[in-house]
Every structure is written in structure tokens, then in C-alpha cells.
Amino acid sequence: MSDRSASSPCVLVTGGAGYIGSHVLHALTDAGIPAVTIDNLSTGRRRAVPGAVPLIEGDIGDASLLERTIREHRVDAVMHFAGSIVVPESVSNPLAYYRNNTVNSLTLLDTCVRLGVGNVVFSSTAAVYGSPERVPIDEETPTVPINPYGASKLMTERMLRDAGAAHGVRSVILRYFNVAGADPEGRTGQATPVATHLIKVACQALLGRRPALSIFGTDYPTPDGTCIRDYIHVSDLADAHVLALLHLRRGGESLVLNCGYGGGASVHEVVEALERVSGERVPATLAPRRPGDPPQLVAVADRIRERLGWVPKHDRLDDIVRSALVWERSLDHPAP
């Protein structure tokens, strides 16, 4: 056992070498909170993990590895990011998503219960809402996911609630809307070359790493005909995780919280913002609607501010796309 782990409790971050997990590790390190991460590096990058954080290469489906890590590092809380996140892939390969997102989460929660780890911050998604009838979306909106990705995440939410009732596990479930941007200090960002997120893809198109950005549907019932989404800067999201951890460590009750700003931007508005901050044109082509794309997904985001005292620092669309573009320019991978 290291001196650090002997002196204070530690948070286990699963999937800490990935996009959001690595930002949270940097936020924890900045706050002086000891952490350890487990990541199988299937999509994550070793260099995204802060140097002060031990990286254990392995899978959270390995109960013995989880147990050793929790005991060795005196883990008192878990932040759970590890999982698969590509919606179309979940439709074509659903069982892999239920295995990676649901079964592995069961292994993690079972290990936590056995070892007395009673604090869990869970990386969930607005996909649990499916295609809601009313927008904006609050936390009481019915959860009716329309794809295996959303369903697999909702199952973990249900396991957390049941574990709370039966075993006293307290959790903060954070339902992300559209996460974008990169660490303002350039320490980490979204590094997957074959990405599906709009702002990432738009940056790749602007830099010539894709032939063009495809705009799927221009006939939606929105002001400019394109889909509207609630974009949240990944560093603001990371800060929310730190506040959630502190809430649980203070003995706070379990919470379900939307993570968004409560406002939306259309596809056209995102493209205009990127062109504004870059001074360049984003090559784009118009394409038919994609099945299952709701016209508008915007959060009611009052509860997270009230319950955690969360105050966003990067909630201007120009700031989000500028940080994403700066990060994309720093990457050396070829076009997908």
C-alpha cells in the first residue's frame, strides 16, 4: 500500500483514460482528491491520465481486480465511467452493450457492496429519456429509452436504486446531455479519430480530416430546421462530478441530476459558432434525417445547481467549440 493511500481515502474512477473520465481525473487532482483508475485502454489513452494517478490496466468485469484495487487503495467511493457509448453500434450489437454496460456494472456494484464502498457517482445519459413528448426535459420525465445504449444505462440506474434500498449504497446519477469541448489547459480531450459527436466531427471537417460534415435533416420543427441539443462543456461536467463526490462524502442523499445548461443550439448554430471562432468555413453536406433523432433535447438543469451548488464556467457555445478546435489541432491522428 502506498503512503498516499494509507493517509486518506481514495476514489476509484473506472474508465479514467477515456474522454470524460480523464477530465474528471484532472479535476480531482486539481482539487487534491486522491484517485486511482481502472481502464482496459480499449478506447482510452494512457497519456490522458494525470501522472499522479495510478492507472491499473484491466477490466471492471474482473471482480478480483476490483477487490484488490479497492482494498489496496482504501477506496471509499467509485466514479463509474467505463462502458460503451455509440448509439448505432448498440443497435447493431446490443448484447455487447448489455455485457459491457450492464453486466460489468453489476459486478462493480456487487463488489462495492461486499467491501462496504457505499458512495457511487454514475455516468448516465439523457438517452434514458428516449424521445420525450415534452421539452425541456426534467428529471421526472418518464424514462423510455429507444436504443440498447440508453436501456443498458437505465438498468444500471435501477440497480443503484435497488442497492440503495437493500444495502444502503448512496449514489448520484448524472444524466448527461451533449458533452463537448476539451480541457482549457490542453491536458486532455476527445481523441477518438472515428467520432460521432457533432462538434468533434465539425472540427475534423474544418481541418480536412473528414471530407465534410453531414447535416442530418433540415426539415425538423425547429427555428432553422436542424436538430437542437443542449451542449455542456466537459470541464463543467467534470466539476459537477467532484461536487457530487463531496456531496456523498458529507453524507448527502442519493440524487438523480440532469447535466446540461438548460438551453440549446441547433446544428446550424454550432457550425456558425465554429466558423466564427476559426475564421474558416466548415465543409458540410445535407443528408436525410437519421432514424430516432428527436428534433430537440434540452435539459431542465435547475436541480443540479440547487443541490450541488454547481456554477458552470464554460457555458458559452463559442467557448465550447473553441476549446474543441484547439484540442483537435493538437492531435496528430489522420482522417478517419
Asked whether the beta carbons of 117 and 76 are under 8 A apart, the reply is: yes
What residues does 56 pair with on adjacent strands?
38
Q: Could you say which of 19, 97, 129, 149 is catalytic?
A: 149
Chain centroid, CA 68 distance in Å = 26
Q: How far is CA 202 from CA 24, 55, 108, 268, in A?
A: 24, 32, 36, 11
Query: Is 149 assigned a catalytic role?
Result: yes
Give the start-end residues of each E strand in the chain.
10-14, 35-39, 55-57, 75-80, 119-125, 170-176, 178-180, 213-216, 228-229, 231-233, 255-259, 265-266, 284-287, 296-297
* H or E stretch covering 200: helix 198-206
Q: Give the contacts of 291 (CB within 8 A, at least 6 positions apart).
A: none
- Three-class SS state of 132: coil
Task: Measure the N-to-C terminal CA separation of the chain; round to a whole number of Å.
Answer: 43
Cell readout for 277 is 471562432
d(CA 264, CA 267): 10
Neighbours of 221 (CB within 10 A): 7
d(CA 314, CA 116): 36
d(CA 218, CA 32): 47
Residue 32's region, left for phi above 0, alpha for psi from -120 to 50, else beta, is: left
Name residue, grid cell 486522491.
34
Q: Which residues are catalytic?
A: 149
